[in-house]
């Protein structure tokens, strides 16, 4: 028994050591560097400086990531709901084939696509003009926070929708059929019967999307202008231009805190679910 | 799929069919449009306002990109070799780890699974920045081994979790039967467990390969100035305004991903997928 336990630990050890050394150690280092005062000891000097310089960007980042996450959730629920309850076969298969395309496209490629797609004279505006909905000089460039939100939603919706579609497919159809028989519309079935049952999967997908969006450097750099910009770009600039590790790390800790708040909501929800199933 | 409960008049059905077709076309435009845009730019030699489509079509930029001495071919070679090395490192680490997590009784198993999830749970830019600084002290910045290590840590969660699920899906009775017939443990592992887990392991290898090929942020901090991967080339071409080269590079990056998307169902079977994370 103990031989197999130590054998197991030995087998897992190399992989664990790599994660500890190359991720947990720099992570801890960044937190330590952020809270250390230039005069020695612990202090909030770096955070104060970070807020002075980047408070606008912090709010900008929170705003973009929260809106993107909410939109991703809504669109994914709509897509997964239609895939589960759609009554037009060709529309369901068309949707199922289309929605997965952005899934395997890396963020840097998506950023490049959107740079030209959303520009003032990009394909999207050209199509709108060709359809006669706008005059050529009325087109607007979406290459600002709206472009970043669109890129994030475009990239994350297939992932969350796929998780939700899988979860909804394994729901007991009887619950939905019963509601339909009693006259509920499909939208009502989705909102009151489908979504509550897949809420756990939805939260997992949204939390993962939230963290992913806070880690992306390519999209804010390539899709939007430089003022204001997201925290990832600020961190990169702080290091490359000034070599100012403490303040950059302070920004990093702020992004960890954003993630931690989201994770806290998820844990609270999970614990409540757990307690409800136990009692 | 549920049956419609109410039959509507043919005209109403045709109209609603037309509306649905328009909605689907709009959705298709939003999903495929940006990608089609890449293809257009890849084959455009000159394209400027106010023209809706490229002014001159041609493959001139493809010649520029695929020139043997060109920077793109070197970046492609660097990207592919880094990706292959990352797969090697990830497999060497995660096959033992996955087997241990699936088959052996580990203390703090839940904690260990979470430890592998950490690189995906924290925004990575600050970590990469500090890692680059640490690597600088060891002389690992701007080197291929440095970049391979960064890619491997980032992709280890896919590798370990999927490999663990693949091993868990192998029927233990088959291993026991082999052991009963006198096979030593290693032989049973190599001839029974590994071949049965192979499709899942191969799928995790492909995930790791794609993650490494597409990785930008870590390489941006650890790889400069010497290591030039395709994503870095795409970034500098895009920011430099050379949309043709950026689009061609993007298409090169996309090809393995799309290929994988079309064949993934063969390798990731439902019973393996269902065990990921357990």
Domains present along chain A, CATH in parentheses: 26-278 (1.10.3720.10)
Asked whether the beta carbons of residue A19 and residue B153 sit closer than 8 angstroms, the reply is yes
Nearest-CB residue to B96 (from A11, A27, A129): A11
- Distance (Å) from the alpha carbon of B112 to chain A's nearest alpha carbon: 8
- Spatial neighbors of A68 by CB under 8 A, at least 6 apart, are A148, A149, A152, A153, A156, A209, A213
| Residue-level pLDDT at B260 | 77
Residue-wise pLDDT tens digits, A127-178? 887 777 777 777 777 888 888 999 999 999 999 998 898 888 888 888 888 8
| Across A165-174, B7-16, B146-155, least confident range | B7-16
| Across A89-103, B5-19, B68-82, B207-221, least confident range | B5-19
B153 in helix, strand or coil?
helix
Together in a domain, B42 and B99:
no
Together in a domain, B156 and B22:
no
Instruction: Tell me, yes or no, whether B2 lies in a domain.
Output: no
Together in a domain, B75 and B165:
yes
| Residue-level pLDDT at A4 | 67
Together in a domain, B52 and B94:
no
Strand partners, B46: B56
- Spatial neighbors of B155 by CB under 8 A, at least 6 apart, are B86, B90, B207, B208, B211, B212
Nearest-CB residue to B130 (from A12, A30, A104): A30
Asked whether the beta carbons of residue A94 and residue B28 sit closer than 8 angstroms, the reply is yes
- The answer to whether B137 faces chain A, any CB pair under 8 Å, is no
Global pTM reads 0.85
Nearest-CB residue to A104 (from B118, B243, B260): B260
Report whether pLDDT(A223) > 80: yes
Together in a domain, B27 and B147:
no
| Across A194-198, B32-36, B127-131, B268-272, least confident range | B268-272
Nearest-CB residue to A100 (from B37, B124, B261): B261
Mean pLDDT of A179-200: 86
Instruction: Tell me, yes or no, whether B278 lies in a domain.
Output: no
| Residue-level pLDDT at A88 | 85
| Residue-level pLDDT at B3 | 58
| Residue-level pLDDT at B276 | 62
Together in a domain, B83 and B176:
yes
Residue-wise pLDDT tens digits, B92-131? 999 999 988 888 878 788 888 888 888 888 888 899 999 9
Instruction: Tell me, yes or no, whether B251 lies in a domain.
Output: yes
Chain A residue numbers touching B105 (CB-CB < 8 A): 1, 4-5, 8
Mean pLDDT of A73-90: 90
- Distance (Å) from the alpha carbon of A82 to chain B's nearest alpha carbon: 9
Could you list the residue range(s) of the whole structural domain that residue B230 is in? 68-273
Closest CA to B165 of B102, B113, B106, B111: B102
Which residue of B38, B99, B126 to mutate against A (max A Cβ within 10 Å)?
Answer: B126
Together in a domain, B255 and B155:
yes
Together in a domain, B236 and B255:
yes
Strand partners, B56: B46
Which residue of B1, B79, B123, B161 to mutate against A (max A Cβ within 10 Å)?
Answer: B123
Q: How confident is the model at residue A275 (pLDDT cuts 50, 70, 90)?
A: confident
Q: What is the mean pLDDT of chain A?
A: 86
In this predicted model, which residue has the larger pLDDT, A238 or A142? A238
Asked whether the beta carbons of residue B133 and residue A245 sit closer than 8 angstroms, the reply is yes
| Residue-level pLDDT at B272 | 61
- The answer to whether B268 faces chain A, any CB pair under 8 Å, is no
Q: What is the mean pLDDT of chain B?
A: 84
Instruction: Tell me, yes or no, whether B191 lies in a domain.
Output: yes
Number of domains in chain B: 2
- Distance (Å) from the alpha carbon of A44 to chain B's nearest alpha carbon: 18
| Residue-level pLDDT at A156 | 93
Express as a percent the part of chain A with pLDDT over 90. 24
Instruction: Tell me, yes or no, whether B4 lies in a domain.
Output: no
Residue-wise pLDDT tens digits, B207-249? 899 889 989 998 999 988 888 898 998 888 888 888 888 888 8
| Residue-level pLDDT at A74 | 95
Together in a domain, B130 and B232:
yes
Residue of A nearest to B215 (CA): A106
In B163-202, the residues whose Cβ lies within 8 Å of chain A are none
Together in a domain, B134 and B32:
no
Residue-wise pLDDT tens digits, A21-58? 999 999 999 999 888 887 777 888 888 888 888 999 99
**Calpha distance A171→A151 (Å, rounded):** 31
Q: Which of B40, B62, B84 is the last residue of a domain?
A: B62
How many Cβ pairs within 8 Å bridge chains A and B?
Answer: 250
Express as a percent the part of chain B with pLDDT over 90. 17
Give the pair of three-digit tokens for residue B143: 């080197």
For B107, left (φ over 0), alpha (ψ -120 to 50), or beta?
A: beta
- The answer to whether B240 faces chain A, any CB pair under 8 Å, is no
Residues of B94-119 as b/e, b for ≥16 C-beta within 10 angstroms?
A: bbbbbbbbbbbebeeeeebbebbbbb
Asked whether the beta carbons of residue B1 and residue A87 sit closer than 8 angstroms, the reply is yes
* ipTM of model: 0.82
Asked whether the beta carbons of residue B216 and residue A217 sit closer than 8 angstroms, the reply is yes
Chain B residue numbers touching A1 (CB-CB < 8 A): 105
Express as a percent the part of chain B with pLDDT over 70. 90
Together in a domain, B130 and B34:
no
Residue of A nearest to B49 (CA): A121
Which residue of A26, A64, A218, A263 to mutate against B (max B Cβ within 10 Å)?
Answer: A26
**Calpha distance B21→A155 (Å, rounded):** 24
**Calpha distance B60→A92 (Å, rounded):** 41
Which residue of A30, A34, A108, A237 to mutate against B (max B Cβ within 10 Å)?
Answer: A108
Instruction: Tell me, yes or no, whether B173 lies in a domain.
Output: yes
Asked whether the beta carbons of residue A87 and residue B2 sit closer than 8 angstroms, the reply is yes
B106 in helix, strand or coil?
coil
- The answer to whether B259 faces chain A, any CB pair under 8 Å, is no
Chain A residue numbers touching B100 (CB-CB < 8 A): 7-9, 11-12
- The answer to whether B124 faces chain A, any CB pair under 8 Å, is yes
Crossing angle of helices B230-239 and B243-267, in 10° steps, is: 140
Together in a domain, B24 and B144:
no
Nearest-CB residue to A123 (from B2, B37, B261): B37
Q: What is the CATH number of the domain that holds B159?
A: 1.10.3720.10
Answer whether A223's CB lies under 8 Å from A151's CB. yes
Report whether pLDDT(B41) > 70: yes
| Residue-level pLDDT at B49 | 65
Asked whether the beta carbons of residue B261 and residue A180 sit closer than 8 angstroms, the reply is no
Asked whether the beta carbons of residue A7 and residue B123 sit closer than 8 angstroms, the reply is no
Instruction: Tell me, yes or no, whether B129 lies in a domain.
Output: yes
């Amino acid at each position: 028994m103990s031989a197999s336990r130590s054998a197991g630990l030995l087998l897992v050890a190399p992989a664990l050591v790599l994660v500890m050394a190359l991720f947990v150690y720099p992570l801890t280092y960044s937190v330590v560097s952020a809270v250390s005062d230039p005069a020695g000891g612990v202090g909030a000097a770096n955070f104060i400086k970070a807020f002075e310089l980047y408070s606008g960007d912090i709010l900008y980042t929170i705003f973009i990531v929260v809106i993107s996450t909410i939109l991703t959730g809504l669109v994914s629920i709509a897509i997964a709901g239609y895939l589960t309850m759609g009554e037009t076969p060709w529309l369901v298969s068309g949707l199922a084939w289309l929605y997965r395309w952005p899934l395997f496209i890396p963020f840097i490629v998506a950023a490049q696509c959107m740079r030209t797609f959303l520009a003032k004279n990009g394909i999207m505006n050209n199509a709108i003009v060709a359809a006669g909905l706008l005059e050529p000089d009325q087109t607007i460039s979406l290459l600002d926070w709206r472009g970043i939100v669109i890129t994030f939603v475009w990239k994350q919706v297939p992932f969350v929708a796929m998780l939700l579609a899988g979860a909804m497919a394994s729901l007991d159809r009887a619950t939905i059929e019963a509601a339909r028989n009693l006259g509920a519309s499909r939208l009502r079935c989705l909102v009151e019967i489908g979504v509550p049952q897949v809420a756990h999967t939805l939260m997992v997908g949204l939390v993962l999307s939230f963290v992913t969006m806070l880690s992306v450097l390519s999209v804010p750099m390539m899709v939007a202008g430089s003022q204001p910009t997201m925290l990832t770009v600020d961190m990169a600039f702080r290091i490359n231009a000034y070599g100012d590790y403490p303040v950059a790390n302070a920004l990093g800790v702020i992004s960890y805190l954003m993630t931690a708040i989201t994770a806290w909501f998820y844990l609270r929800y999970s614990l409540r679910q757990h307690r409800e199933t136990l009692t | 799929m549920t049956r419609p409960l109410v039959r509507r008049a043919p005209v109403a059905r045709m109209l609603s069919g037309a509306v649905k077709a328009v909605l689907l076309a709009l959705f298709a435009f939003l999903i495929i449009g940006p990608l089609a845009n890449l293809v257009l730019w890849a084959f455009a030699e000159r394209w400027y306002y106010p023209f809706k489509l490229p002014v001159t079509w041609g493959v001139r930029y493809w010649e520029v990109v695929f020139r043997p001495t060109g920077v793109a071919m070197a970046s492609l070679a660097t990207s592919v070799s880094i990706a292959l090395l990352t797969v090697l490192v990830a497999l060497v680490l995660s096959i033992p780890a996955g087997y241990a997590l699936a088959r052996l009784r580990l203390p703090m198993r839940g904690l260990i699974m979470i430890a592998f999830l950490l690189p995906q749970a924290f925004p990575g830019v600050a970590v990469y920045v500090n890692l680059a600084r640490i690597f600088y002290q060891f002389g690992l910045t701007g080197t291929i081994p440095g970049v391979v290590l960064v890619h491997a840590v980032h992709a280890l969660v896919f590798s370990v979790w999927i490999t663990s699920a693949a091993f868990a899906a192998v029927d233990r009775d088959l291993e026991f039967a082999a052991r009963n017939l006198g096979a030593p443990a290693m032989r049973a592992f190599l001839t029974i467990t590994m071949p049965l887990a192979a499709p899942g392991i191969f799928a995790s290898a492909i995930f790791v390969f794609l993650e490494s090929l597409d990785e930008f942020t870590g390489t941006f901090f650890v790889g400069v100035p010497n290591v030039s991967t395709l994503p870095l080339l795409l970034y500098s071409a895009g920011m430099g305004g050379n949309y043709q080269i950026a689009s061609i590079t993007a298409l090169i990056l996309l090809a393995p991903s799309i290929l994988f998307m079309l064949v993934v169902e063969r390798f990731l079977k439902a019973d393996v997928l269902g065990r990921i994370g357990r």
